[in-house]
A and B are shown apart, each in its own frame.
Chain A
Amino acid sequence: MIFTTLGGAVPQTQSAKAKTIMVMRLTTLLLLIGCLQVSAAGFAQKVSLSEENAPLKKIFGEIRRQTGYAFFYNAQLLERSHNVTISVKDASLEQVLTQCFQDQPLTYSIVNKTIVIRVRDRKEEPALSSLTDTTPAPIWISGRIIDEATNKPVEGANITPKGLSRGVVSNHDGAFRFPLEHGSVLVITCIGYQPREIKTKGVTEFTIKLTPGTKDPLANMVVTGYQLINKDNFTGNAVVVSGEELKKVNPQNLLQSLQVFDPSFNIAQNNISGSNPNALPSINVRGSTALPTGGGAVLSRSDLSSNVNLPTFIMDGYEVSLEKVFDLDVNRIQSVTLLKDAAATAVYGSRAANGVMVITTKAPKDGKLQVFYNYELNTTGPDLNDYHVLDASQKLQYEKLAGLYNSNANTSQDQLDAAYYDKLQNVLSGVNTYWLSQPLRTTYGQKHSLYLEGGGASIRYGVNLLYQTSPGVMKGSSRDRYGLGMDLSYNPGKKLIFRNTLSVNQVNGVESPYGSFADYVQMNPYYPKTDSLGRVLQAVDNWKTNVGGLGSGNGNRATILNPLYNSTLHSFSKSAYLEMIDAFSAEWNIARGLRLRSVLSYTKKKSTGDVFDSPLSNDFYFYLPNQLTQRGSYTYSTNDENTFDGNATLTYNRQIGDHFINMALGSNLRTYTTDSKSFYAIGFTNDRFTNIGFAGGYPAGTTPGGDYSQQRLFGSFATLNYAWKNKYLLDATIREDGSSLFGTQNKEASFWALGLGWNAFKEDFLALSPVISQLRFRASTGLTGSVSFAPYQAETTYTYYANSWYSTGVGASVNTYGNEALKWQRTRSYDVGMDLGLFKDRLIISPRYYYKLTHGLLADINLPPSTGFESYTDNLGDMANRGAELNFKYAAIRNKNWNVSFFANLVNNTNKIVRISDALKNYNNKANQVQKDSLPSTPLLRFQEGQSLNMIYAVRSLGIDPQNGRELYIKKDGTHTYTWDANDIVPVADNTPKVMGSFGTTMSYKRFQLNAIFTTRLGGKDYNQTLSDRVENADPRYNVDSRALTERWQKPGDHALFKNISDLSTTFVSSRFIQKDNTVDLTSVYLSYDFDKAFYSRLAMQNLRVAFTMNDIAHWSSLKIERGIDYPYAKSFTLSIQTSF
């Protein structure tokens, strides 16, 4: 009935795709309801039975129903059992079992919550031989399993010949015995112990030691977020890094660590924000796949936001934001898997094209209460190595050479001489302020991360607490994180696991009241920062010069304000958010290998921003007397985000003979809403009243801001990972996504991927090779998508004239032409790769090559305005990214005390714009205009088919003419000229590095470990903005880069890179400032020591490690450029202590 009703609700016009979704959705629903019912069942420890001549199997079923204990046995064993007559009431489990097994040829033992059935007396019972009737002469293998630490027998360990799914279980003496049919390797597994493999080598009697503790359960597994796949059998491209490894690289910044392990995960250089603790990084994976749309505003190259290229972040099965990952405590992370190619990401369909980062957090383990504690002390200091400014006397010398004291129409030579000698007096009296250090500091941050877990086999709990301060190197800036998490898992039987994770996080970010670092860099060193009484001066100088092109207004006055003055006021800029996440998962092991898992999560995040600019601040210094009541401003903004993410996955994971099958069928649903509001108020009376309540009013003509948007996604997928004899591998995925972002004509999209692989080293001809220990080939292709546009672009929408009513009521008018056919971007990707392991995997080399062609990039399409609109958004534009990745690992020394290995991860990515719209071609003309009018000296972003998005466009230059110190340009037609013309702008250099990556070493000696990691960027070129802005276009009234004094042309015959020192005309973009960008950074040095047991046991600890990490310690580059314009870069040192009780 339900089906019919539901079927009827689907509109007739829907396509077959919709029906597929419908069916998948129903599946999900039924599975969920199934979950619900099972969870409701309870369990008792007492057993009541009344059976007459019942088979054991039936009785087992009854016991299991009542107690929740599972039975583990070989079905053939039961054929030899007698039927049982029993009648008990509220008896203990042991009593009942003892009664059942009386007179049986079988006995039992209880391991955890599992009742293991085995043959009572092996010597008299040749039962197992019947299993091997076909094998003429089985070899009988027997032995004992003992705990490595205690030497006590281990009961219930599973002993299986490799390649078979059946095996035997050790008894309470740890003993086992069985006939080995074929194969020569035994696999021993047991809960609470690390698995082991033993080669028989003809031996038939063993004593096997098991090491307690579980190895990382996710080691050698790829977590796709929906299923776990054995890395060896996976054809997709995935990089798996454990939380521990990430922490060793950079304990403060998880994203930067990940970049070391896979340079394809590329964090864009942020030369503006430097090491600002509140700046979120821009990330792309395997190159950029988006073009700017909307507005048509001309962009400088640094403005190109990479946020549209962001990978999708998945944490424990649900999607999270970049900020969540940015603020996540690395100690909570079990592992991170970066999925890159279509075969790996296609299960994410419309969100997959830019890669997927899957984070798995630690789940509580059973056992007695354990407390893990991690302490970090972090010291950060500014890195000013790239700043070279003039000192007081040099600066004055430069001013003189630049002609600031040459007489002019407005000012007499006497006045200028007086000004010069005033300054000289300062210099001679020893004023030489190092302004750069004024807003900076060395800071100490700390992190306390506490995690406790415990519980029994059925209920486990975990609680984690985080307190972390990250003060920035600019005084007053900081980001503080507070976190509380609770993790509960309930495991009522073998078949069910419930887990609920609740976490509450508060993050407070504060920007420095000192303002932009650039303001300090340009202050003249001969200015004192305080007056004779120690008060911070506001206006420190008043220039009257008539130097061409400089100065503002009449008389060319320029009042120099002291940026330090702002810091003495009560201005602030703060942001904060409170986030609550609850994630609930249920897992149902329906039958062997068949599992249903459902994750439901709800995230609520409330963010606020408060910016107060004091009425006394420098910003309002030039306000006229009639504007005094408008000084001071307060901006308040708030955003409320709600996300609901749910998915259900049915997985089937089984080995049948030589066939290994790992299948998943699932669906996923997500809604996201964001509701933001903002107010801007002005007019504060004084510096003390900083509350918005003291504001005088709103600026005339402004209205409060507000935006609300909602996104919904529904997807269903099926994926198969198949291996035959572990040799021939296949991955196939299809996903169907429906998204509210798509146009009304295209609400649903299909994505797919196919991967093939060959484990050549498992073939006979290589199996015995002494050299090659691993050789695998993989290839994959597929179609994935990304939706990088704002909601509602696909819909024609109206905006109200809310603040100007017509005389007959409020009016509404159409904004844009909504393109109902708007589609997602489709990325077709190809990926081939190889893994080669030599000499027992001491040397591993994995080269990869990929090609991604993104179709249907969103672009503005121009319309004749007679349509009513000048443009609309459509899928027009293609971009290609191709690249190679090479991972190299070499274990140079591996012995008892020493372990030394080296690694290198190198990538190359080439980006090419294949097709763009007319609107973007037109944009280039607009850029020419802007270059001429307002941004003459910054290369602007331009788009040309066939060129890279990272191309730098400028006029070609022949350099400075030694005769006259003027720049000589090459026109488009090849002729030479002294006149710069925007029409001569051509592509001059590609910013893309030829090789980008990381390399380093890991060494351990006994209990010491040392890692050193370098990152590098080679073969690219960059536009040295410092040379343009701070050497040539620098206003000589402000401090400049030291090269402005030492390397500019001064007299005929000088072969200088920079034009005439007294030439103060604007320098336009030219190829003269293109320089090679070869950079090596010492990103991370890590040193740790694990204390020995004797020491930490005395402290009642279970382990103790002390580690010291240094990050961003050194930077070598061929590009001498000021780094960290608004906020300097920082070096950081972290001492961490890690222990558990």
Chain B
Amino acid sequence: MKIFIALLSSTLLLTSCSKWLDVKPQSQVAATDLFDSQEGFEEATNGLYSRCSLQAAYGDELSFGFLDVLAQNYYINFNDYQHYLQTSIYNYRDNDFISRKDTVWTSLYNAIANSNLILTNIENGKKLLTPVDYGVIKGEALAMRAYLHFDLLRMFAPSYGNNPSAPAIPYVSTFSNKVTPLSTVSQVLTLVLQDLNAAKALLKPVDPILSAGYIIDYPWNSTSTTAPPTRSTEQSNASLFLQNRRNRLNYYAVCGELARAYLYMNKQDSALSNALEVINSKKFPWTDPGDFTDPNPQNVDRILYKELLFSWYIPTLGKTLANRFAQPVGLYLDQVSGANLYQTNGVGGADTRYKEWLSPLTDANGQWLTVAKYKRDPDTNRHPLLAPALRLSEVYYIAAECSYDANPSQAMGYVDSVRFHRGIPDPLAATGKQDFLNQLLAEARKELYGEGQIFYMFKRLGLPVTSPSGIGHPATNNIFVLPLPDSEIEYGGR
């Protein structure tokens, strides 16, 4: 029994009282414990991407869900199995839509809180981190904060072109339970650009993707017997944390995002210079048409893997996506719309994307086109399942849009670069700026189909949202501005 007395006295002797009361959880990790090591910072950074890759955010909804429904990219079955019918007619009071967009708002701001918590702790943790990790983690946390705010802005506020001084969204840059007031559209964009530029500066000296030895190619796939030898070095870094840079906000992804944001703010020079930085780096090779149209389902590269600057890693969502695009319960296209979309009766007669991404299917109600862009059959493929977030072709389109005023032929040349790689031999011929923009939009729609970007483009350009079958919806803020969640209005005093 004296052991107990000894135990008690030694406990009392050796520990100071409040330290003794400071009990740390073990089945969860206290924030203060996590940021006590380099691994902790790395895990928190990975956590940002895991958080955003959930189905409610970029893992499904924001990449393949309601944003493309809003862009009128899908035919909605009258049975409305996935409850998008009201969304497609812009009924923003529909419960399904409200719940989806509110969850997006919550998820993205939660990820922003995660970023802010990393940024709060990074300076104290600087001594724990290698210079590379410090630059990468701080850079990516800043870039992520900007990336998410920029998407929230593009959803929940009027476009810059429409009203730059309209109250938009809160730009949250601290981790706290205090309410952040709304900023205007231009204020948000300024902050987005500020964070992205800071991220770019931090990543520039340290990001492994910038080294000449970082070669982008298909990963070697042990299960595929026919896989050719690969030159990829994307997984050769000794640190797992520094591999697969294109699944995280790497230097070029930040450049691409800067190009997007500058263009959104109508700062074409800065947009162009960032776009050209990506294009001129020649880091991202065009996909070999042979790989894109490979008849062997194990070898076909359906998403143009090597051209992705940034994508979300979602290996477990194969079944969810299969469901998402299954016919008749999912999102798909009718034949006429598909043909219109890819202009198969015009320049797109040989467009490889039409063939590879839309596969015909006949049922009792007619002939349809199911979306095969994300098909995984079998699941072994040349690349893991990804949700594309930013691809090379979009950077070309940005460069094209930004250089048209100064040099229309060069602008069209940028668009043609994409077209040629997709099997369209005819060069683009635009008659004036508006026609160019319309054609650019049509091209982008072919390329970025089912990637959640086209709605933003309609909105930025202020063009009526027209379905491939030709039904137009006037360009108004009733369509373009999603309402803030009720809880945000009520508890944030918006």
Q: Chain A interface (Cβ within 8 Å of chain B)?
A: 6, 9-11, 14, 18, 21-22, 25, 28-29, 32-33, 35-36, 39, 500, 582, 584, 598, 600, 602, 644, 646, 669, 706-712, 714, 738-740, 742, 744, 747-748, 791-792, 795-801, 804-815, 817-819, 862-870, 872, 918
Interface of A is mostly: mixed
Contacts of B313 in A (CB 8 A): 806-807
With beta carbons under 8 angstroms apart, the residue of B12, B113, B384 that contacts A814 is: B113
How many angstroms from the CA of A870 to the CA of B5 in the assembled complex?
47
B12 touches A28 (CB 8 A): yes
Q: Is B457 an interface residue (CB 8 A)?
A: no
A812 touches B44 (CB 8 A): yes
Q: Shortest CB–CB separation between residue A645 and chain B, in angstroms?
A: 10
Question: Given A740-B22, A799-B28, are A867 and B4 neighbors across the interface (CB < 8 Å)?
Answer: no
How many angstroms from the CA of A742 to the CA of B109 in the assembled complex?
28
Contacts of A817 in B (CB 8 A): 113, 177
How many angstroms from the CA of A25 to the CA of B21 in the assembled complex?
14
B487 touches A865 (CB 8 A): yes
How many angstroms from the CA of A867 to the CA of B44 in the assembled complex?
18
Contacts of B46 in A (CB 8 A): 805-806, 808-812
Q: Is B316 an interface residue (CB 8 A)?
A: yes
B31 touches A798 (CB 8 A): yes
Q: Shortest CB–CB separation between residue B59 and chain A, in angstroms?
A: 10
A818 touches B31 (CB 8 A): yes
B2 touches A36 (CB 8 A): yes
Contacts of B490 in A (CB 8 A): 862, 864
How many angstroms from the CA of A1046 to the CA of B409 in the assembled complex?
91
B30 touches A806 (CB 8 A): no
Question: Given A738-B18, A806-B46, are A865 and B51 neighbors across the interface (CB < 8 Å)?
Answer: no
How many angstroms from the CA of A818 to the CA of B32 in the assembled complex?
11
Contacts of B114 in A (CB 8 A): 813-814, 868
B485 touches A865 (CB 8 A): yes
Question: Given A646-B4, A809-B42, are A10 and B16 neighbors across the interface (CB < 8 Å)?
Answer: yes
Q: Shortest CB–CB separation between residue A608 and chain B, in angstroms?
A: 19
Per-residue CB proximity of B35-70 to A under 8 Å, as 1/0?
A: 000001011111111110100000000000000000
A806 touches B11 (CB 8 A): no
B247 touches A813 (CB 8 A): no
A804 touches B50 (CB 8 A): yes
B30 touches A808 (CB 8 A): no
B9 touches A797 (CB 8 A): no
Contacts of A870 in B (CB 8 A): 106, 487
Contacts of B117 in A (CB 8 A): 796, 814
Question: Given A740-B23, A747-B18, are A869 and B42 neighbors across the interface (CB < 8 Å)?
Answer: no
B47 touches A812 (CB 8 A): yes
Question: Given A738-B18, A867-B177, A868-B113, are A862 and B491 neighbors across the interface (CB < 8 Å)?
Answer: yes
Contacts of B485 in A (CB 8 A): 865
Q: Is B241 an interface residue (CB 8 A)?
A: yes
A869 touches B49 (CB 8 A): no
| Interface segment, one of B168-176, B188-196, B366-374 | B168-176
Interface centre among B4, B30, B170 (most CB of A within 10 A): B4
How many angstroms from the CA of A18 to the CA of B18 in the assembled complex?
8
Contacts of B243 in A (CB 8 A): 807-808
Contacts of B45 in A (CB 8 A): 811
Contacts of B99 in A (CB 8 A): none
Q: Is B179 an interface residue (CB 8 A)?
A: yes
A-B residue pairs in contact (CB < 8 Å), sample of 19 = A32-B5, A500-B1, A582-B1, A709-B26, A711-B23, A738-B21, A792-B25, A792-B30, A795-B25, A800-B47, A804-B316, A810-B43, A814-B117, A862-B490, A862-B491, A865-B109, A866-B180, A867-B179, A867-B180
How many angstroms from the CA of A22 to the CA of B12 in the assembled complex?
9
Question: Given A36-B2, A808-B244, are A714 and B43 neighbors across the interface (CB < 8 Å)?
Answer: no
How many angstroms from the CA of A32 to the CA of B13 in the assembled complex?
12
Contacts of A712 in B (CB 8 A): 20-21, 23
How many angstroms from the CA of A500 to the CA of B5 in the assembled complex?
13
Contacts of B21 in A (CB 8 A): 712, 714, 738-740, 742, 747
How many angstroms from the CA of A706 to the CA of B113 in the assembled complex?
27
B28 touches A798 (CB 8 A): yes
Question: Given A712-B21, A811-B48, A814-B31, are A865 and B102 neighbors across the interface (CB < 8 Å)?
Answer: yes
A22 touches B2 (CB 8 A): no
Q: Shortest CB–CB separation between residue B6 and chain A, in angstroms?
A: 8
B29 touches A800 (CB 8 A): yes
A806 touches B4 (CB 8 A): no
Q: Is B240 an interface residue (CB 8 A)?
A: yes
Contacts of A32 in B (CB 8 A): 5, 8-9
Contacts of A708 in B (CB 8 A): 25-27
How many angstroms from the CA of A684 to the CA of B248 in the assembled complex?
44
B27 touches A709 (CB 8 A): yes
A867 touches B113 (CB 8 A): yes
A669 touches B11 (CB 8 A): yes
B113 touches A36 (CB 8 A): no
Question: Given A6-B13, A22-B17, A866-B109, are A600 and B4 neighbors across the interface (CB < 8 Å)?
Answer: yes
Known: A801-B50, A865-B485. 15 other contacts (CB 8 A): A11-B16, A39-B2, A584-B1, A669-B8, A791-B25, A792-B25, A797-B29, A806-B247, A806-B313, A810-B46, A812-B34, A812-B44, A813-B110, A869-B177, A918-B491
With beta carbons under 8 angstroms apart, the residue of B44, B175, B240 that contacts A798 is: B44
Q: Which residue on B lies nearest to A500, using beta carbons?
A: B1
B43 touches A811 (CB 8 A): yes
Q: Which residue on B lies nearest to A792, using beta carbons?
A: B25
Question: Given A646-B8, A807-B243, A814-B110, are A600 and B1 neighbors across the interface (CB < 8 Å)?
Answer: yes
Q: Shortest CB–CB separation between residue B307 and chain A, in angstroms?
A: 18
A869 touches B113 (CB 8 A): yes
How many angstroms from the CA of A1080 to the CA of B488 in the assembled complex?
52
Interface centre among B16, B47, B172, B240 (most CB of A within 10 A): B47
Q: Shortest CB–CB separation between residue B464 and chain A, in angstroms?
A: 31
Q: Shortest CB–CB separation between residue B219 and chain A, in angstroms?
A: 10
Q: Is B105 an interface residue (CB 8 A)?
A: yes
Q: Which residue on A lies nearest to B102, using beta carbons?
A: A865
Q: Is B398 an interface residue (CB 8 A)?
A: no
Q: Which residue on B lies nearest to A795, using beta carbons?
A: B30
Q: Shortest CB–CB separation between residue B315 and chain A, in angstroms?
A: 8
A791 touches B23 (CB 8 A): yes
Q: Is B112 an interface residue (CB 8 A)?
A: yes
A18 touches B17 (CB 8 A): yes
Q: Is B289 an interface residue (CB 8 A)?
A: no
B492 touches A806 (CB 8 A): no
A863 touches B31 (CB 8 A): no
How many angstroms from the CA of A865 to the CA of B106 in the assembled complex?
5
Q: Is B178 an interface residue (CB 8 A)?
A: yes
Contacts of A706 in B (CB 8 A): 27
With beta carbons under 8 angstroms apart, the residue of B4, B112, B487 that contacts A602 is: B4
How many angstroms from the CA of A839 to the CA of B45 in the assembled complex?
80
Per-residue CB proximity of B109-121 to A under 8 Å, as 1/0?
A: 1111110110000
How many angstroms from the CA of A6 to the CA of B180 in the assembled complex?
45
Q: Which residue on B lies nearest to A598, using beta carbons?
A: B5
B5 touches A600 (CB 8 A): yes
How many angstroms from the CA of A556 to the CA of B105 in the assembled complex?
42
How many angstroms from the CA of A669 to the CA of B4 in the assembled complex?
12
A29 touches B29 (CB 8 A): no
Contacts of A791 in B (CB 8 A): 23, 25
A867 touches B176 (CB 8 A): yes
How many angstroms from the CA of A800 to the CA of B51 in the assembled complex?
10
B177 touches A815 (CB 8 A): no
How many angstroms from the CA of A800 to the CA of B178 in the assembled complex?
26
B177 touches A795 (CB 8 A): no
Residues of chain B in range 177-203 having any CB-CB distance to chain A below 8 Å: 177-180
B110 touches A812 (CB 8 A): no
Q: Which residue on B lies nearest to A35, using beta carbons?
A: B5
Q: Which residue on B lies nearest to A797, using beta carbons?
A: B28
How many angstroms from the CA of A297 to the CA of B488 in the assembled complex?
21
A864 touches B179 (CB 8 A): yes
A9 touches B22 (CB 8 A): no
Question: Given A808-B241, A813-B47, are A714 and B20 neighbors across the interface (CB < 8 Å)?
Answer: yes
